[in-house]
Amino acid sequence: MGDFIALMIFFLICCIVPIPIYYIIRKRFGELIRGE
């Protein structure tokens, strides 16, 4: 059961990684990404 759950958790991590990446980018580039 361990590897079964591990793969699901790994998939979950891959799907939520964009959240911290987005906040890092927003902090680093701020105005640039929000501008038109």
Partner 1 sequence: MSIEILSIMISYIVIVLLIGFYAARYVKSSKDYLIAGHRLGLIPLTFTYFATYFSAVSVFGFTGLVYRSGWSGLWLPVFWATGSIMGMFIALKLRRVKLISPHEYFKVRFGLPYGFQVFVGLLTVVALMVSLIVQIKSTGIVWSMALGRAYEEGVFLSMIIILIYVIAGGLYSVAYTDIFQGIMFTVMLIIGGVWALLTTGGIGNLYTMVSRISTPPTPGASPTPSGLLTSAIGTYTFISLLFLWLNWAPGVAAHVRYTQRILAARNIDLSLKMYVIAWPILFIIYTCMAFTALAGRIFIPTMPEGMSVDYIMPLIFGKYFPSIVVGLFYACLLAAAMSTIDSEVQICNSIVFIDMLRYLKLSERGMLAVARILAVVIVIICTLITLYPLPIIIEFSAYCWGILGVLYFAPMMIGLYWRRVNKWGVISGVFGGLIVFAVWQMLWGTRIYGIQPFGVGVLVSILLTIIISAVTKPPPEECLKMYFSSR
Binding residues for partner 1, rule: CB under 8 A, are: 1, 3-8, 10-12, 14-19, 21-22, 25-26, 29, 32-36
Relative orientation angle of helices 2-16 and 18-29, to the nearest 10 degrees: 30
All residues at 6 or more sequence positions from 25 whose CB lies less than 8 Å from its CB, including other chains: 33
Q: Per the structure block, which two tokens stand in for 21?
A: 């990446």
Cβ 26 to partner 1 shortest distance, Å: 7
